[in-house]
């Protein structure tokens, strides 16, 4: 999976931006691409959705939005498009605050989210968004990419956090080495 893309902003439209990375233009669907500056070097954290009919990249300028997006799409009935619309209409902090305060009324104001979906979001995510699960800025990029890769392989955030400390003690490894080590630790914990 593609964890992030670093490159220059080539162009943007209402719902997406094209980022030039060494001569390859990646179309990345974003919530507010108009905040980008043309020809500026940028890092966009991505989520790659692969379906039978399309391969789509969703992008975020910060990890907070990226992580909230991943949490939202884990809720039954909330797809990538609805999650992106929600992030376009409100900030991550406001959405998290609404979830933590059982404020389904506030969530219903977001596009594409009705009463049933709002209740399901609160039920599934309350108490899971305020833990200190954000990735440490002092952590090396290889380890950060490896943790994101483990999440993209389907491991839950708390499972990935359970092996984070052990992986941090192994300094100087490549992303692939961290992923392999992380997978072996996760498999051992499940007793497989």
Distance CA 13, CA 25 (A): 14
Give me the sign of the Cα torsion angle 72, 74, 75, 81.
Answer: positive
Rounded to 5°, the CA angle 125-129-131 comes to: 130
**How many residues are given for the chain?**
192
Q: 63-125 belongs to which homologous superfamily? A: 5' to 3' exonuclease, C-terminal subdomain (1.10.150.20)
CB contact at 8 A, 19 and 10: yes
Query: Which two structure tokens, joined as six digits, stand for 17?
Result: 């931006």
pLDDT in tens, the chain (192 residues): 788 999 999 999 999 999 999 999 999 999 889 889 999 999 999 999 998 998 999 999 988 899 999 999 999 999 999 999 999 999 888 999 899 889 999 999 999 999 999 999 999 998 888 654 444 444 678 888 888 888 888 887 778 877 888 888 887 788 888 889 988 888 887 765
Give residue 156's pLDDT.
79
CB contact at 8 A, 5 and 19: yes
- Phi, psi angles (nearest 5°) of residue 71: -65, -45
Distance CA 108, CA 23 (A): 42
> What is the CATH number that goes with domain 4-60?
2.40.50.140
Give residue 135's pLDDT.
45
Is residue 30 within a helix (H) or strand (E), and if so which, with residue range?
strand 24-30
pTM: 0.65
Angle between helices 63-73 and 157-168 (to 10 degrees): 140
């Amino acid at each position: 999976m593609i964890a992030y893309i670093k490159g220059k902003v080539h162009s943007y439209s209402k719902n997406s931006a094209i980022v030039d990375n060494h001569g390859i233009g990646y179309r990345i669907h974003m919530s507010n691409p108009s905040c980008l500056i043309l020809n500026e070097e940028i890092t966009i954290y991505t989520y790659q959705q692969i379906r039978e009919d399309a391969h789509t990249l969703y992008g975020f300028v910060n990890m907070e939005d990226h992580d909230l997006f991943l949490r939202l799409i884990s809720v039954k009935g909330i797809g990538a498009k609805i999650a992106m619309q929600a992030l376009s209409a409100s900030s991550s902090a406001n959405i998290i605050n609404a979830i933590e305060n059982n404020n389904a009324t506030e969530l219903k104001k977001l596009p594409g989210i009705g009463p049933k979906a709002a209740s399901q979001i609160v039920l599934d995510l309350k108490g899971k968004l305020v833990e200190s699960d954000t990735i440490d800025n002092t952590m090396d990029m290889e380890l950060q990419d490896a943790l994101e890769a483990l999440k993209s392989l389907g491991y839950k955030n708390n499972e990935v956090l359970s092996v984070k400390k052990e992986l941090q003690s192994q300094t100087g490894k490549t992303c692939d080495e961290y992923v392999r080590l992380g997978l072996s630790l996760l498999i051992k914990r499940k007793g497989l």
